[in-house]
Amino acid sequence: VDLDCYTQRMIVPATTENIRKAAECLCAGDVVAFPTETVYGLGADATNAEAVARIFEVKNRPRFDPLIVHVANEHAMGKIVTFVPEPARRLAARYWPGPLTLVLPRTELIPDIVTAGLASVAVRVPDHPVARALIEASRCSIAAPSANRFGRISPTTAEHVREQLGEQVEIILDGGPCRVGVESTIVSFVSEEPELLRPGRVTLEEVEETIGRVRIGAPSDRPLAPGQLARHYAPATPLTVIDTISQVDPEHRGSAALLLVQPQPAATPSGFAHVEVLSQDGRLTSAAANLFSALRRLDAAGYSGIYALAIAEVGLGRAIMDRLHRAQVSAGCEVRRARR
Ligand code: TXA
Ligand code: MG
């Protein structure tokens, strides 16, 4: 634990007492940052439109991008959604608490600002003791996007939150680094066919094993077509996804960083200023947990470019590649879409 952070007041350890204070802030209409198993969230009472407006202000987030509401359990979800189709129930039973968000028709209890005026609401039950304790202590449904400035890399530590939002947040509860490291899988049940809006730790394969075939949603820049903005996770350093290392001109390597999801079976590629390996053990779960921290670090190091070697878009690889592709788009290139 970095004690310097604590002297700057905003970051506090997630003790019972501090969770209680944060819960009081929520009830009073303030925003607080808290850890979940995926990334840190910036939370407000989901039924308080003014408090939720503050989230958009702090994040500098456009109002057409709706928020995820965090609840204690399936029963609590009953207050904010009108109907839960059978397949959605099956997913909830299997993956909650956990990194899965369901988009369902909403009740009047949820103000328009949470859903950008949509008739649906995104809801999940987080699997993190601090997030759960905060929901319980506040007795709130907590609307919370990732606690970063809009379009930037999502935070997986309390320090990441402070770097981007520090002065504007009353309390940042420190629960250590996030276990999963990429945002929740989002499955929408608003049209005939269930649709995967965002890949995450709960994989497409796992979703389909539970409920059968789902459509794969496309990212979009169109307002009122939420789910996925193509432009996201923007590092300032241009990031390029490559299929083979030989694609990178040897002339460019000396000032650039190579980002590998897994260790290379062959010899370490030569000529790069730095080679970053996301998982020493080769596991995608470790790679996902390190992804956003590594992107921040590489971005801060001032390389001329970051070259990320693509991996197969299966299992958790789909979520990792989704984030890398969108980091690339934000650096000014064309998006390439994941398919089956
Ligand atoms: O893991 C996570 O989901 C984290 C933690 C904090 O829970 N939260 C998170 O929130 O990633 P955010 O705001 O960064 O992403 C929410 C996504 C957005 O892409 C948004 O468009 C989509 O959820 N979304 C929210 N409500 C929706 C709705 N009614 N219909 C379709 N998409 C929706
Ligand atoms: Mg986000």
Which pLDDT score, from 0 to 100, does residue 264 have? 86
Ligand 1 pocket: which of 125, 165, 186 to mutate (most atoms within 8 A of CB): 186
What values do phi and psi take at 326, rounded to 5?
Answer: -75, -30
Question: pLDDT tens digits, residue range 252-277?
Answer: 999 999 999 999 877 777 899 999 99
Q: Measured between alpha carbons, how far is 145 from 42 in angstroms, rounded to an integer?
A: 6
246 secondary structure, DSSP code: G
Q: Find the ligand nearest to 187 CA.
A: 1
Residue owning tokens 């993956």? 95
Could you identify the atom of ligand 1 that is nearest to the CA of residue 120? 29
Q: Find the ligand nearest to 127 CA.
A: 1
The rounded Å distance from CA 227 to ligand 1 centre is 7
Closest CA relative to residue 144, chosen from 165, 320, 215, 11: 165
pLDDT in tens, the chain (340 residues): 445 444 456 899 999 999 999 999 999 999 999 999 999 999 999 999 999 999 999 998 888 889 999 999 999 999 999 999 999 999 999 999 999 999 999 999 999 999 999 999 999 999 999 999 999 999 999 999 999 999 899 999 999 999 999 888 989 999 999 999 999 999 999 998 999 999 999 999 999 999 999 999 875 544 343 445 555 667 889 999 999 999 999 999 999 999 999 998 777 778 999 999 999 999 999 999 999 999 999 999 999 999 999 999 999 999 999 999 989 866 544 444 455 6
Which pLDDT score, from 0 to 100, does residue 234 have? 76
Q: Residue 325 has which token pair? A: 């592709």
Which pLDDT score, from 0 to 100, does residue 226 have? 41
Which pLDDT score, from 0 to 100, does residue 339 have? 57
Residues with CB under 6 A from ligand 1: 36, 38-39, 41, 65-68, 99, 101, 103, 115, 118, 120-122, 144-146, 183-184, 186, 188, 197, 226-228
Terminal C-alpha separation, the chain? 42
pTM, two decimals, is: 0.91
